[in-house]
Structure 1
Amino acid sequence: MTKQEFLTIYESSKFNLGEYIVVIDNITDEPLVMGCAFDNCIWKIYQTKEKGGHYVIKEFLNEIQAFNYFYELLLSRHNYLSGNS
């Protein structure tokens, strides 16, 4: 899915991500963030730690692949926290 498609779906999904927030458009070192950002011509899926600092989970050259993966990552966390399989 494209970034815009992701945003539309995400806003209507009401994901339970615990204390994490979602950041799109830039990489931040703020604590407890899950994000997807276009950085140096690469789409980066990243997460930050409780005390700040980020690490890249996966990189993609393609926007659609990046947001498909990011959506699945958020859905997986939602299902884990909600007790769904």
Structure 2
Amino acid sequence: MNGACEYTAAVTALANTLAERMTDDELVLLSAALTQLRDTLTTIALHKKLRKNLNKPPHHCPRDSGKAEIKTKTVSSGNQGNSGDDT
């Protein structure tokens, strides 16, 4: 891809493909995750640039800080002891 037109067309095609195959909730979650990724990458890039401009060596995070622990919770379709009375 040489130009901005090809790049934006490819991104649009990807978005359309995802939209056809994912539920609205899945799209919202993916959008939120990608927004967070964008914001984090922007912060990291700015931090690196500022440190470079100040002639400071790069700072590396502790070894385990980049690892995310994913926990899953199983939810049954039962009533879970709820009487249905929310008062």
Per the shorter chain, which TM-score range? 0.3 to 0.5
TM-score of the superposition, structure 1-length normalised?
Answer: 0.33
TM-score of the superposition, structure 2-length normalised?
Answer: 0.33
Higher relative contact order (CA 8 A, sep 6+): 1
Q: Which has the larger radius of gyration?
A: 2
- Structure with greater helix percent: 2
